[in-house]
Amino acid sequence: MKLELNSGTVSYVDAGNGPAVLLIHAFPLNNTMWASQVAALSGKFRVLAPNIRGFGQSQPSSAWTMEEMADSLNEFLDKLGVKDSAVVGVSMGGYIALTFWSKFPKRVRQLVLSNSRARADNETEKNARNDMIAAIEQSGAAILPDRMLPRLLQPNPPAGVVRNVRKMIESTSPAAAVYAVMAMRDRMDFSSMLHRVECPTMVITGENDVIIRMEDSRAVADAISGARLVTIPNSGHLSNLENSEAFNAALLSFL
Ligand code: MLT
């Protein structure tokens, strides 16, 4: 489905009826990463899974900040007549979810931060972002699958998961990738705001996630009053894909 927002066209999945659940995807993937969650949740919930600007069929591929993305999601919910929603983000999706909460806390009924962190990038991480931007600008998005796959997935992942993630990465345009890396590099630090989160929150980590380490997830969960911390076994950074059964069970039980 498609909708016109002030920022351009958003393509999205809208499935099921009931309380809304907004799913925000990781980098450099798209909303098809949520296929298993859409199937598992849409019997009880209205599941909304937009593509971030430039990803999937969402247009245009232009620069964005986390704050602008939060504004776009706010307009997205307005246009769909959704008052509040559970907001679930994996990794980059978690950065966007936290920014959305900071701007529109009343719209967040429940918060799920999966394989994500609250702190900003440190200098080393910002330099790595700049290296990636330079590499994409020089060689195109073709460098992404080989660079990202070994870090996104745990060692010896099932061939089907590798194929699926590779296909998503390969469909990402160089411009969308560069703008998303810039937005992640420049995102603000929410660590000192976490004590203000009042909605029920679940923090999810993957047992073998090498991108977001357990200590970052624990720091987020410890700082949010009453937050639940769940570790998904047999999973790297993309826990909703790598062990969708355990992820869906945790999500359904929390929601
Ligand atoms: C993601 O999975 O969304 C990104 O890898 C997160 C990041 O690079 O910080």
Average pLDDT over residues 153-162: 95
User: In angstroms, rounded to a whole number, what is the distance separating the alpha carbons of residues 75 and 88?
Assistant: 17
pLDDT (0 to 100) of residue 90: 98
Q: Which two tokens stand for residue 106?
A: 């009343």
Q: Which of 91, 133, 178 to mutate to test the pocket of ligand 1 (most atoms within 8 A of CB)?
A: 91
Question: Is the pTM above the cut of 0.95?
Answer: yes
pLDDT (0 to 100) of residue 205: 97
Q: What percent of the chain has pLDDT over 90?
A: 99
**How far is ligand 1, taken at its centre, from the CA of residue 134, in Å?**
17
**How far is ligand 1, taken at its centre, from the CA of residue 47, in Å?**
23
pLDDT (0 to 100) of residue 221: 98
Residues within 6 Å of ligand 1 by CB: 26-27, 91-92, 184, 211, 237
Average pLDDT over residues 91-113: 98
pLDDT (0 to 100) of residue 136: 95
> CA dihedral defined by 187, 205, 25, 23, rounded to 10 degrees?
-110
Average pLDDT over residues 219-230: 97
Mean pLDDT of the chain: 97
**How far is ligand 1, taken at its centre, from the CA of residue 178, in Å?**
13
Residues 6+ apart with CB under 8 A from 161: 153, 238, 241, 242
Average pLDDT over residues 245-255: 98
Residue 94 CA: nearest ligand 1 atom is 3
pLDDT (0 to 100) of residue 226: 97
Q: What percent of the chain has pLDDT over 70?
A: 100
DSSP letter for 158, please.
-
DSSP letter for 56, please.
T
Nearest alpha-carbon partner for 92 in 65, 110, 71: 65
| Run of H or E including 74 | helix 66-79
